[in-house]
Every structure is written in C-alpha cells, then in structure tokens.
Amino acid sequence: MLTYEDLKANESINTYITKADESLLALGYTEHSFAHVTRVAETAKYILKELGFSEHEQELARIAGYLHDIGNLVNRVDHSQSGAVMAFRILDNLHMEADDIATIVSAIGNHDEGTGVPVNAVSAALILADKSDVRRSRVRNNDTSHFDIHDRVNYSVKKSILKINEEHSIIKLKLIIDTRYSSVMDYFEIFLTRMVLCRKAAEKLGLQFKLIINEQQLI
C-alpha cells in the first residue's frame, strides 16, 4: 500500500505543495505550506484513531490532509476541486488502489466551506482538521498595522486545541484569543461558514461540535 510517509518523501508532491504556498504568499494569504498540511494530516488521523476507525482509514486521512491544498497551485478559487483532480492523477500514477483514491479525492474535493460536504469519515476528519488550524505562526505579515482580518484573527489566537471527549460524543475546538488584535466578532465574521461546516462534519462522525473561545461556549 502507498503510505503517507511515501508521499512525504516524494519530491514532485513536495514541489507542488511549495509552489502552491508561494502562489498564496503572492496573494497575501496565511501559511499553507508543510507546517499546515502536516498538522492537518496528523489531526485528521487523531480524529479517526480516537473514534476507533481502522489504521487504513487513518492512513487515508493523513494522505488526504497532506495533499488537500495542492489545488492552490492552479488558483485559490475552487482549489478543492482542482486539488482533487491533481491528487487523482498523482495517486493513480503511483498505483494506489482505486477505492482508496476515490476516498481521498472525494475528501479533498469537499474540504472547502464554499462547496464542501462531509461525504465520508475521511472527508469529515479532513474538514475538522483543516478548519481548526488557526494560529499566530500562520501569519506571514510582520507589520501589525497592515493586518487584514485574516491576519488579525490568526495572529490573535494564542492557543488552539481540538479535542474529542472521553465519551466520544463531543469534539471541542478551544481557542484562547488575544483581543488586542482581534475580537470574537472578527472571528465569526470570517469563520462562521467554516464552523457550520465543522458542525456538519462532526455530525457525520456521530459527534456534537462545540466552539469555545476564551472559556465561553459560542456554538
């Protein structure tokens, strides 16, 4: 079986990830490079492992997480769909089983809040992992006086934890926000659609989604 570690060592894939992030840098977006995709991959695995999914499904989630943003190489608009097409070609050329390719491609093609739907467990885990990666280190603009709202919101997040409770009934995204840089309303302004998608993804996994900011439950 083609593994996550195989993909991480693949020079062509890593070039696509690097170049996709360079395109987003030129557009003024936050970091979408190896720190982001690796964190998403490992968080997606954590979700499925915690819920008792097979090691094989956990591996597919990690692969989907690692590849999920390569579509930004084509364009930020509809990057989930273009990324899914790119992932199909890559994985097919690497002789992955068709059933596994289908699972990964559908997850990547459905991870964006504009058009995404949690169609299976891997896609649900990918959505939750991707949308919960909010942190100061993703901001690349060093001039706080010229932050846009995405910079402000990410920079304000001092701590972000995604955790499933022991009863496996609730998944919580807990954020500690420094309100000197961003208000809670700023967060909602740009992330409300993402949080709605997270709620749908959690429901697909039989969980309730809770958003807690500065110890106050908001969703």
Mean pLDDT of 201-206: 98
Average pLDDT of the segment spanning 48-73: 98
Residue linked to tokens 């909602």: 188
Using DSSP's 3-state secondary structure scheme, residue 39 falls into helix
For residue range 62-115, list pLDDT tens digits in order. 999 999 999 999 999 999 999 999 999 999 999 999 999 999 999 999 999 989
Q: Which residues contact 15 (CB under 8 A, 6 or more apart)?
A: none
Q: Is 95 exposed, middle or buried (0-12, 13-18, 19+ CB in 10 A)?
A: exposed
Contact 210, 219 (CB under 8 A): yes
pLDDT for residue 165 is more than 90: yes
pLDDT value at position 183? 87
HSE, CB side, 13 Å, CA atoms: give it for residue 184: 12
Q: How confident is the model at residue 219 (pLDDT cuts 50, 70, 90)?
A: confident
